[in-house]
Homo-oligomer: A and B are copies of this chain.
Amino acid sequence: MKHLNDKAAHNLTAVRGKKPLIHNITNFVVMNYTANALLAMGASPVMAHAQNEVEDMVSFAGALVLNIGTLTDDWVASMIKAGKRAAEQQIPIILDPVGSGATPLRTNSAKNIIDAARITVIRGNASEILSLRHDKSKTKGVDSIHSVEEAAQTATVLAEELNTTLAITGPVDLVTEGSRVLRVANGHPLMGYVTGTGCTATVVIGAFLAVDDDPVSATATALAYFGLAGEVAGQNASAPGSFMIQMIDALYTITPQDLKKGCKIETAN
């Protein structure tokens, strides 16, 4: 879709020009990699999680990234504090509900964060996203989705229920806020062999949210850019160690012009 490819180019240019501060309260595994991804793309990362600091820190930020990958109750409390302040100041928030559905702590924490603050975008895989349904949700479980059409239908219903934009990532990503549905087909199979590629997609979306007021276009264009970085990396590396380094390089070397040509974003409804 030409206008979204142009938007992708515009968003990358804006990030590199404005260097938005992205405040991350995230997991220990990916902190270094996501900070490097944000720097490589032109944004300015800060990681800060102390309960007596997060409100101060987020007030300077262009976007807030909340990621429950190695959560404890204390960290969730910090995420909620930061999320409330961000919501007050109209700062976009993206939640990565890592492992939601796998344990009660993760599912409940993700739901508590969603209840406490207006979340702009939630990015996860299908089972993480579907675990966020309310008890009375009209959406189906992950096991009862058997086609691309059912997945899109489920996502739109859930996005409306949660009053947010959802990004369900996989071989093809799905982005919806309940009415529009976009599919993003960029990516590379080796991305599944590097820890934190999902978490890194999340921070790239965070940086685009800092410069694009439309969460659906910010999310879809960020996922296309990140997937294109995977494609470029896959041309230069054939194993996951080299690939993860080439991903960082590609986030730095990809130009707005490359995005105009290379984004694979389609409307799905």
Contact = CB atoms under 8 A, between A and B. Distances in A.
Given A56-B102, A56-B105, 14 more contacts: A28-B28, A30-B32, A32-B32, A39-B192, A39-B195, A46-B99, A49-B70, A49-B72, A57-B102, A238-B253, A239-B250, A240-B248, A241-B245, A241-B247
- The range of chain A's interface size is 35 or more
Number of copies: 3
Interface of A: 27-33, 35-36, 39-40, 45-53, 56-57, 60, 69-73, 99, 102-106, 192-196, 238-242, 244-250, 252-253
A217 to B, nearest CB: 26
A92 B50 CA distance: 28
The 6 closest A-B pairs by CB, nearest first: A241-B248, A239-B249, A35-B195, A241-B245, A53-B105, A56-B103
Nearest to A31: B29
12 contacts: A28-B31, A29-B31, A30-B32, A35-B196, A40-B239, A49-B72, A53-B105, A56-B104, A60-B102, A238-B253, A239-B250, A241-B248
Contacts of A49: 70, 72
A28 B53 CA distance: 16
Nearest to A240: B40
A244 B251 CA distance: 14
Contacts of A60: 102
A70 B48 contact: yes
Contact of A27 (B47, B56, B240): B47
Contacts of A51: 72
Nearest to A248: B241
Contacts of A53: 71, 103, 105-106
Contacts of A47: 27-29, 69-70
A242 B53 CA distance: 33
Contact of A73 (B28, B31, B50): B50
Contact of A241 (B36, B56, B72): B36
